[in-house]
Amino acid sequence: MYRVTNGGVCAAAGYRANGVNCGLNSDKTKNDLGLYVSDVPAVTAGVYTTNKVKGAPILVTKAHLAENNGTARAVIMNSKNANTCNADGVEKAEAMCELAANALGLDKNDVLVASTGVIGQILPIEPISEHIGELAAGLTYDGNERAATAIMTTDTVKKEYAVEFELGGKLCRLGGMAKGSGMIHPNMATTLNFITTDAAISQELIQKALSDTVKVTYNCLSVDGDTSTNDTILLMANGLAGNAEITEENADYDVFKEALYIVMSELTKMLAKDGEGATKLLECAVSGAPDTDTAIIVAKSVIRSPLLKCAMFGEDANWGRVLCAIGYAEADFEIDKVDVDFRSKAGVLPVCRGGAGVPFSEEFAKVVLAEDEIFIDVSLNSGNAEAKAWGCDLTYDYVKINGDYRS
């Protein structure tokens, strides 16, 4: 039913994108200013950081969506500077929207804004104003990659994913892009994420679908325990696929929501695998939980454990660190029923049964944990609910990267 396709934020009909280097990044080979635009007004949903310190772009984006009754046409974004904790932050974010609006012939409220980079540094507007014409003129229906690279900071790879599916016999597409490598913690939204679709869906249901799906994807991601000030996810739907508008939670809504889950979960895994300094993708799958919330809490507790992350970097099957993280999870279950396995493409290593250790080969453990994708399977044996969380190992390079981040 769902087929992987290319195009990221340009996979769906009616979206153009571009990215350029405007000078915020001194490396002229790296884009630092991006823009994507829908040909027609798009119903838009958003979810944002829970950090009490919120970047000015979030304040402006929320205000513009409120003014426009939940619709938008374009998003402008930059890297290298978060435009956060600045006295003139809102003024600069509004200016970015106005520059884009003028270049596109839109109203300022039609444009949303997002920024990522260093916190507390004044954002120079001149480089953006000097290159906005070039940025707008270069918009194309296949410009997704240029936009995806414009939001990268310490990311080592761009992150894009898209699928196609059918609603009422109409071919629909949904795709997105994300950035994030550090300052990632499961606490609403996580990093910058932009998703577009040509499906038609009501404002109420697109927001519900996004909020529900965030809970089991981006909110189940942790790299380092820090929740960013600028975390934003925006989902736009322009209806150009021609399907009957989804206005109730019916079968079409379920199909749409599953497509959204596929894209968001794949982007979540890409974010986890590209954590700052990471060498391994970690996935904790919890099964046998009494309810979904318990499964999520336990999975997130394991994946965010610094000691567990270090053990995975060292390829050490120190399963006690898994039990420790399960034990301080704020949920009710019986610890003496818990089973734990380490798993990779090299095989499965049972390490705990009924809350107690079982004998295993240290040599085989090294083989299993030497792979670059490690799965930690936890069964609570207390019900039928399940959930997953994603993260990465904690390495020497993480400290190096963040020790001189501003330079």
Quick: pLDDT tens for 274-285: 766 678 999 999
Does residue 255 register a pLDDT over 80? yes
In the chain, the percentage of residues whose pLDDT exceeds 90 is: 77
Mean residue pLDDT across the chain: 91
Tell me the Cα Rg of the chain: 22
Q: How far apart are CA 19 and CA 313, in angstroms?
A: 35
Overall residue count recorded for the chain in this entry: 407
Q: Catalytic one among 190, 232, 268, 395?
A: 190
Superfamily the domain 281-403 falls into: ArgJ beta chain, C-terminal domain (3.10.20.340)
pLDDT in tens, 143-179: 999 999 999 877 778 999 999 999 999 999 999 999 8
The helix (run of H) or strand (run of E) holding residue 379 is strand 373-379
Would you say domain 3-273 falls under CATH 3.40.190.10?
no
Amino acid at position 380, single letter: L
Residues 341-374: pLDDT tens digits? Answer: 999 999 999 999 999 999 999 999 999 999 999 9
| Packing angle, helices 56-67 and 89-104, rounded to 10 | 50
**What pLDDT was estimated at residue 226?**
47
pLDDT computed for residue 273 by the predictor: 76
- Amino acid 275: pLDDT: 67
- The confidence score (pLDDT) of residue 230 equals 61
**Is pLDDT above 70 for 36?**
yes
Among 34, 91, 257, 226, smallest CA distance to 163 is for 257
Confidence of residue 271 (pLDDT cuts 50, 70, 90): confident
Do 24 and 124 contact (CB within 8 A), yes or no? yes
pLDDT tens, residue by residue, 11-24: 999 999 999 999 99
pLDDT tens digits for range 186-239: 443 346 899 999 999 999 999 999 999 998 898 888 765 545 556 789 999 999
Tokens of 62: 């929320």
Check if 190 is active-site: yes
| Domain ranges (residues) in the chain | 3-273, 281-403
Percent of the chain at pLDDT > 70 equals: 93
